[in-house]
Structure 1
């Protein structure tokens, strides 16, 4: 598949890139804390402690800055310098989350870019690779009554 097969239209990217990143980072870390934080090992959390991270969706023109501190992910304001920045298109991030594409393949084809602390990048990659995707199922963190099966 071509790396440019799916991308945000330029007018949408221009609008999104003008939005302040901090409110988006707050929403992003809320999702991380709800769906991911409890599944991370204490060793991983110790290594993440105080590290400034950035996830950037290049084609959407948005980025989220955050840090693990005091037992949860927190949005970071004005993170000029990060320990690790990970960039890809929204489509490539979706492929990664769905495990339809390997991070190494995206990295070597330059569709996934990691900048900063190499060891931290490997920790993040290996940690995400080791997590069972079912932890991201909405039934794990939303009220069960929203997902009842219909009888019959």
Structure 2
């Protein structure tokens, strides 16, 4: 399935940006922790432990903050300093996850913004590239396998 180059409607951003940030962040960290437990996400958590992350889905107004320990990911407050921030629109994040676009290409075309610790950014990029999405039930239909 090819992800279209569409930006979400502005009214969605207006609605989502006023909602609490914690519930979507909890969904994200619970998903990451499930992928860890099932050994789909093969993360060396020692490289991520004590680090704070922010994912901004710009066209939806989503600002997801989380941190990592040696064992798991946890939702975090949006007020703290982050070590790494990734920002893109919904379509570009989906293209990156489905490997329809390389993160480097998105970055150099200024469609993916990476701010903070560049070494940590490379670790996260390689971690995302290592995921076999065809083993994730909800993603099987999207990756076409």
Give the structure-2-normalised TM-score. 0.85
SS for the counterpart of 1:56 is strand
C-alpha distance in 2, partners of 1:66/1:135? Answer: 24
Deviation at 1:133, TM superposition (A): 2.0
Larger Rg: 1
C-alpha distance in 1, partners of 2:48/2:135? Answer: 20
Which residues in structure 2 correspond to 1:1-152 (within 5 Å)? 5-36=5-36, 38-41=39-42, 44-138=44-138
8 A contact 2:40–2:132 mirrored in 1: no
Deviation at 1:31, TM superposition (A): 1.1
| RMSD, matched Cα | 2.1
Structure 1 residues 62 and 70: alpha-carbon distance in aligned structure 2, compared to 1, 3 A threshold = same
8 A contact 1:32–1:73 mirrored in 2: yes
Ranges in structure 1 where 5+ consecutive residues have no aligned partner: 141-152
Give the structure-1-normalised TM-score. 0.81
8 A contact 1:35–1:135 mirrored in 2: no
Deviation at 1:40, TM superposition (A): 4.2
SS for the counterpart of 2:125 is helix
Deviation at 1:138, TM superposition (A): 3.6
Structure 1 residues 39 and 79: alpha-carbon distance in aligned structure 2, compared to 1, 3 A threshold = farther
C-alpha distance in 2, partners of 1:134/1:98? Answer: 10
Deviation at 1:41, TM superposition (A): 4.2
C-alpha distance in 1, partners of 2:79/2:70? Answer: 18
Ranges in structure 2 where 5+ consecutive residues have no aligned partner: 141-145
